[in-house]
Amino acid sequence: MLYLYITFCVFIAFVIFQTFYIIIPLFKNEAKSRIPVEKKYSFSILVPAYNEEKVIQHCISGFHQLKYRKKELIIINDGSVDNTLSVLKKNLHLKPYKKRKLHKLNNSLIHQEVSTIYKSKEFPNILVIDKLNGGKADALNAGINLSRKEIVITLDADSVLEKHSLREMNRAFQDQNVIACGGNVLIAQGFTGEINNYLPTFNIKNIIKYQFLQYLTAFYLHKRAQVSFSAITVIAGAFGAFRRDILFTINGFRKTIGEDMDITLKLHKLIKENGLEEKIVFAPHALCYTECPSTFKDLFKQRVRWQKAFIDCLLYYRKNYFTKFSKRFSIFFLVDQFIIGTLNAFPVLLTPLILFFYDGHIILLLMFGLCAVFLFMYQSITTIYISSLHGLKFSKSDTVRILLFLPIEIFIFRMINLFFVVYGTLTYFHNSQSWNKVDRSNHLGSLKVKG
Using DSSP's 3-state secondary structure scheme, residue 274 falls into coil
Distance CA 231, CA 267 (A): 11
Distance CA 65, CA 341 (A): 39
pLDDT score of 166 more than 80 = yes
The pLDDT > 70 percentage for the chain reads: 90
* One-letter amino acid for residue 93 of the chain: H
253-270 pLDDT tens trace: 999 999 999 999 999 999
Using DSSP's 3-state secondary structure scheme, residue 69 falls into coil
380-403 pLDDT tens trace: 999 999 999 999 999 999 999 999
Beta pairing class for 94-96 and 71-78: unpaired
Using DSSP's 3-state secondary structure scheme, residue 66 falls into coil
Distance CA 139, CA 235 (A): 18
DSSP 8-state code for residue 233: -
Residues sharing a CB contact under 8 Å with residue 367, sequence separation 6 or more, in sequence order: none
The pLDDT > 90 percentage for the chain reads: 80
Residues sharing a CB contact under 8 Å with residue 40, sequence separation 6 or more, in sequence order: 69, 70, 170
pLDDT score of 39 more than 60 = yes
Of residues 269 and 3, more confidently modeled:
269
pLDDT score of 349 more than 90 = no
Average pLDDT over every residue of 36-48: 96
For the chain, domains (ranges, CATH) are 2-20+331-428 (no CATH), 38-316 (3.90.550.10)
For position 451, what pLDDT does the model report?
Answer: 46
Average pLDDT over every residue of 356-381: 83
Q: DSSP string spanning 195-216? A: GGG-EE---S-HHHHHHHHHHH
Of the pLDDT bands very low, low, confident and very high (cuts 50, 70, 90), residue 105 is: very low
Residue 46: CB atoms within 10 A of its CB come to: 23
Of residues 276 and 107, more confidently modeled:
276
Q: DSSP string spanning 238-267? A: TEEEEEHHHHHHTTS--SSTTHHHHHHHHH
For position 176, what pLDDT does the model report?
Answer: 93
Distance CA 120, CA 117 (A): 10
82-93 pLDDT tens trace: 999 999 999 999
Beta pairing class for 178-187 and 279-290: parallel
Distance CA 405, CA 408 (A): 5
398-420 pLDDT tens trace: 999 999 999 999 999 999 999 99
Q: Which of 115, 112, 107, 119 is nearest to 142 (CA)?
A: 112
Distance CA 165, CA 188 (A): 15
For position 91, what pLDDT does the model report?
Answer: 94
- List, in sequence order, every residue forming a beta bridge with 289; answer none if it has no partner: 160, 186
For position 362, what pLDDT does the model report?
Answer: 75
**Average pLDDT score, the chain:** 91
For position 342, what pLDDT does the model report?
Answer: 96
Residue pair 428/307 in contact by the 8 Å Cβ criterion: yes
Residue pair 153/239 in contact by the 8 Å Cβ criterion: yes
DSSP 8-state code for residue 159: E
For position 140, what pLDDT does the model report?
Answer: 98
Of the pLDDT bands very low, low, confident and very high (cuts 50, 70, 90), residue 106 is: very low
pLDDT score of 216 more than 90 = yes
For position 194, what pLDDT does the model report?
Answer: 76
E strands, 188-317, in order: 191-192, 199-200, 239-243, 279-290
pLDDT score of 59 more than 60 = yes
